A and B are shown apart, each in its own frame.
Chain A
Amino acid sequence: MRTTRIIVLALVLVLAVGAVATQAQDNVIRIVSQTPLSGPQSVLGISMRNAVELAVDQLAGPIEELGFAVEYVPYDDQATPDVGVSNAQQIVNDASVLAVIGHLNSGVAIPSSEVYNDNDLVMVSPANTNPLVTDRAYPTVNRVCGRDDLQGPTGATFAAETLGVSSVYILHDTTAYGQGLAEFFQEEALALGMEVLNFEGTEEPSNFETILSPILAQEPELIYFGGIYSQTGIFIAQARAAGYEGLFMGGDGFDSSEFAALGGDAAIGTYYTSVAAPATVYPAAAQFIEDYTAAYGEAPQPFAVQSYVSTDVALQAILRLLESNGGVLPSRAEVAAEVRATEDYEGLTGSITFDDNGDPEVGLYYVIEVVSGDPEAWNENTVIAEITLDSPLIASMKMEEEMATPEATPGS
């Protein structure tokens, strides 16, 4: 009895999968996005979804001319790994899905991309900065933004060379993100000859008074804080109130108008590094901002323009495949390989060529200064430095080339 039931169940499953598989021959290509559409980070997630939608509307034309319908399906990962993975399992079962755009959170992208990779489905990420996203070297995982292990050093280089800082006190929030970023900063700061007065972790959420006394006693020229705005905004307000007069710096965890709300006037003059500048920075994105604002009635949030670019990269890869193989629907593996082969793609945020891990060969990093203590004026923060850095893979390849070049390093 039991075995027959299992057999029947298996048959039904096979039929269902078959039905889905046959659906794919209906000349439908689906592009899917996974971003948080509900919850505290939905402001960013919804804006990313809008940008993908806009990209599909505007850029799918050439594919549709070849006789395919391009559909867009947004998923809500709720910024939660469990939800992201269960969505991913649902997504890979739809054979007409050829590309995923997402996620916002590295913590969601990493487990979800395991599912995509098992099913050869390509993911193009607009926003995930954790090194592990691409360091697994999956053929299906790509991103169009920068990495934390280059973001930290960017801050250190800027502090040492542009600001002329010679002593720094480093704090972090003891999380993977904050401590990781702070460690990358410290490494580069030491390499540049900066004096690192201390490297400290604190989980304290609200009262920094006792933590501040050794900092004030050592009078660092800069405090670097690897953490999120909810902690660092309060910290700088208290540090200034206690008489700290030096500089303050951090990573993209600062990038929220809430930082200004918490810090007030103390937030002014804070520097933070980011992998995504506001859309207004990119000269090519003016038309995008206009179209987006016309369609959705508000200005695009951070990572919206990157989402548009990610979608474009995926669509162009599919189009190239369709053109080269005479209009036959490509397999997922072919799409993944073609996306990875993207070379000298010219998009709104500049040129993109993926390295073998799926990082852009050259990443863009920004140093941004907070100009106002008013949260309303957060978008007016000025980009004061724009730094291009090779991805780690490319950098190590270049290094090997240099080493391999004969007589480049005379024996010493």
Chain B
Amino acid sequence: MSLQLASSETVIAPPSINPLMSVGNWIYRFILFPLGQMTVFIVGAAVILTLFSYGLALLFPEPRPGINLAAQISTQLPGMIITGISIGFVYSMIALGYTLVYGVLKFINFAHSEMFMVGSVIGFEVMRRVFDEGHLGAWAPVLLVLVTVLLSMLFSGTLAVVIERVAYRPLRGAPRLVPLITAIGISYILIDSTRAIMTLTRNDFNLTYPTNEIDWLNTPIPVSFQSFASGGTNFGGQLVEQINADGADYESFRIGDVTYENLYIGGITIGGKPIKNTDLRTLTVGESLTPEAIEVNGQPIRDLIEIANVVNIRITSIIVVISAVLMLLVLNFFVNGTKLGRGIRAVSQDQATAGLMGINVNRMVALTFFIGGAFGGGAGALFGMNAGTVTPYVGFIPGIKAFTAAVLGGIGNVTGALLGGLTLGLIESFLNGILVYFPALGQRYTDIFAFSVLIFILIFRPSGILGERVDEKV
């Protein structure tokens, strides 16, 4: 068998390992193009959602008394985008597992959410052990994160291969529903055995990562978004830089040449932070209203503006994004640029013919499961680091969302999983940020809206945004 593979290799030279391929071309294919693709997806989804949010703000300028929706959106925009991207990458990484397995076997591996859970638990074990044994001082945090994620990936990937060998391969010829039921069974077995093991060894159900005890991981990076803070500042039709003044009670003030008398405005917000009337020094009649002239709590408003719109970006969020991007680049190279990747693609196109061409189908399927499981496990460890605490039941919700993301992007389509995950993450983040301001609605209805969007998209594109890869089937 292996001999055949080797001989077939000499006959057809794959374009991906063509020695004539220039370094520039390689960089373009495996680094620039996928990076560009991600950027386009993120920017595209973010821009569409931002426009949608402001559109909503036009329709409902004040959904609740005292809430200026547009101003709230401006304040939250950077935060919503960043959290959306970070959770979106987690969904994408899990979605890849669903989509890859669907690609080669045409079946949904519902036990995949438990690869994520197992990864998060292994990540916890690794980090906790290193931390408890006090090695942490000697370990560079980057190294710690790397080791945690890699070990989780390795373990989850291996577990996925074992499960495929034990539970799915014997059923390969069976009707589709049979492995589906097996997958659900495997999922329960994994959840409960993890719970049993963790209860016996740690006597604890909630597994808390030591991230909140590591300063380096726990110190947020404050990023000031001044451009977002300017918003509309409107004193009698005149714009005053950087102040959202929808209200304060002034005897009188002057802007330019015009003096305004006895104007009641309400309450001032700076970058979304409400300033009470009592915080403000009353201006004397005729005094001009410049940012220097207004004091809040004894501080000139100009100083406050400097710190007004600060978004704290968590290091763990950045780690999630960077790791996910790196892993996706590696995956792209592996699938499209190596001999083994070509094998996987061949099997996904036509199993029987791929077998006839000398490709070891079973090995390729196992490899697919390994990659899918490893991505799920890595996502689990990253999620755990970011969320802080995981439980044996943590896989369910991200699993369902990631499956949704895979369908949204087009199941079987690797790029689609990336797009679907990012889209779903951003939709979730935006809805969570905006729905709170509507009376009777709220964050608990986020999923209803998120899934309505999904149904809406699927009505018009039943095979997902990018389409299911059906070209191989005639």
Interface residues of A (CB under 8 A from B): 40, 167, 174, 198-214, 216-219, 230, 233-234, 237-238, 241-243, 258, 261-262, 264-266
Contact = CB atoms under 8 A, between A and B. Distances in A.
Max chain B Cβ within 10 angstroms of own Cβ: one of A214, A219, A258: A214
B389 interface: yes
Contact of B432 (A206, A214, A218, A233): A214
B387 A174 contact: no
A213 B87 contact: no
Nearest to B446: A210
Contacts of B387: 206-209, 234, 238
Interface stretch (B31-39, B174-182, B436-444): B436-444
A264 B272 CA distance: 30
Contact of B389 (A200, A206, A265): A206
Contact of B220 (A201, A234, A241, A262): A241
Q: Does more than half of chain A's interface fall in helix, strand or loop, or is it mixed?
A: helix
Nearest to B445: A201
Contact of A213 (B208, B273, B432, B442): B432
Contact of A237 (B76, B212, B274, B429): B212
Given A200-B442, A214-B434, A264-B208, 16 more contacts: A199-B442, A206-B394, A207-B386, A210-B83, A210-B428, A213-B80, A214-B436, A214-B437, A216-B79, A216-B312, A217-B79, A218-B72, A243-B312, A262-B206, A262-B389, A264-B213
A211 B212 contact: no
Contacts of B436: 198, 200, 214
Give me the 7 closest cross-chain CB pairs, A-B, nearest first.
A243-B312, A213-B79, A210-B432, A264-B212, A210-B429, A201-B444, A209-B83
Given A214-B76, A217-B75, A242-B314, A209 B86 contact: yes
B403 interface: no
B46 interface: no
Contact of B208 (A201, A204, A207, A261): A261
Max chain A Cβ within 10 angstroms of own Cβ: one of B208, B213, B316: B208
Interface in B168-216: 204-206, 208, 212-213
B84 interface: yes
Interface residues on B, range: 35 or more
A218 B387 CA distance: 22
Contacts of B432: 210-211, 213-214
Contacts of B89: none
Contacts of B316: 241
Interface of B: 72, 75-76, 79-80, 83-84, 86-87, 204-206, 208, 212-213, 218, 220, 222, 272-274, 310, 312, 314, 316-317, 383, 386-391, 393-394, 397, 428-429, 432-434, 436-437, 442-444
Contacts, number: 120
Max chain B Cβ within 10 angstroms of own Cβ: one of A174, A204, A241, A242: A241
B443 A217 contact: no
Contacts of A201: 442-444
A207 B116 CA distance: 14
Contacts of B272: 217-219
B76 A206 contact: no
B433 A213 contact: yes
Nearest to A172: B444
Given A205-B391, A213-B80, A241 B218 contact: yes
23 contacts: A200-B436, A200-B442, A200-B443, A200-B444, A201-B444, A203-B444, A206-B387, A207-B383, A207-B386, A209-B83, A209-B314, A209-B387, A210-B432, A213-B80, A213-B83, A213-B432, A219-B272, A219-B273, A233-B206, A242-B314, A243-B220, A243-B222, A262-B208
A354 B181 CA distance: 57
B212 A266 contact: yes
Given A205-B391, A206-B387, A237-B388, A214 B433 contact: yes
Given A234-B387, A237-B212, A241-B218, A217 B76 contact: yes
A167 B428 CA distance: 26
Contacts of B83: 209-210, 212-213
Contact of A207 (B80, B87, B204, B206): B87
A209 B274 CA distance: 23
Contacts of A219: 272-274
Given A200-B436, A238-B388, A242-B312, A265 B72 contact: no
